[in-house]
Amino acid sequence: MGKAEITEREEIYDALIVGAGPAGVSCAVWLANLGLRPVLFDAAPYVGGLCHGNPFPDPWTVLLPGADGNAVAGQLARSVAAAGVELRLETRVDRIDRCATLDGNPSADMKRDARPDALPGGGARAQQGCFAVSGKGWEPVRGHTVVLATGVRARGWQLGVGADGGTAVPGIIVGPGGAVARQEYEGRHVAILGGGDNAFENALYVAQRGAASVTIYARNVRAQRQLRDQVPPQWLCRGPYTVEPSGLSVNGRRYDLILVFYGWEPVLDPLGGLALRLDSGGFVSTDRYTAESSVDGVYAIGELTRRQHPCVLTAMADGVVAAKAVQARLERRGT
Of these, 34, 221, 311, 320, which contacts ligand FAD (CB under 6 A)?
311
Q: Which is nearer to ligand FAD, 237 or 268 (CB)?
A: 268
As measured in angstroms, the least distance from the Cβ of 7 to ligand FAD is 27
Q: Which is nearer to ligand FAD, 166 or 253 (CB)?
A: 166
Using the 8-state DSSP alphabet, how is residue 38 labeled? Answer: E
End-to-end CA distance of the chain: 13
- Nearest CA among 254, 250, 252, 257 for reference residue 167: 257
As measured in angstroms, the least distance from the Cβ of 301 to ligand FAD is 7
C-alpha distances in angstroms, 328 versus 147, 301, 304?
14, 17, 23
As measured in angstroms, the least distance from the Cβ of 104 to ligand FAD is 18
Please give the size of the binding site for ligand FAD, defined by CB under 6 A.
39
Choose the stretch contacting ligand FAD; rule: CB under 6 A; options: 19-27, 183-191, 210-218, 323-331: 19-27
Instruction: Tell me, residue by residue from 101 to 140, as one string, x for binding to ligand FAD by CB under 6 A and - for no binding.
Output: ----------------------------------------
Amino acid identity for residue 172 in this structure: I
Of these, 27, 51, 173, 206, which contacts ligand FAD (CB under 6 A)?
51
- Is-contact 160 169, C-beta < 8 A? yes
C-alpha distances in angstroms, 218 versus 157, 203, 274, 310?
18, 12, 37, 23
How far apart (Å, rounded) are the C-alpha atoms in residues 118 and 99? Answer: 18
Alpha helices in the chain (DSSP H): 3-11, 22-33, 69-83, 108-113, 178-182, 197-208, 225-228, 312-333
- Is-contact 272 166, C-beta < 8 A? no
**Is 18 among the residues that bind ligand FAD (CB under 6 A)?**
yes
**Is 271 among the residues that bind ligand FAD (CB under 6 A)?**
no
- Is-contact 321 290, C-beta < 8 A? yes
Of these, 12, 27, 31, 61, which contacts ligand FAD (CB under 6 A)?
61
**Is 201 among the residues that bind ligand FAD (CB under 6 A)?**
no
**Is 54 among the residues that bind ligand FAD (CB under 6 A)?**
yes
- Interaction site with ligand FAD (CB under 6 A): 18-24, 41-44, 49-51, 54, 56, 58, 60-61, 69, 92-93, 149-152, 163, 176-177, 267, 269-270, 302-303, 310-313, 315
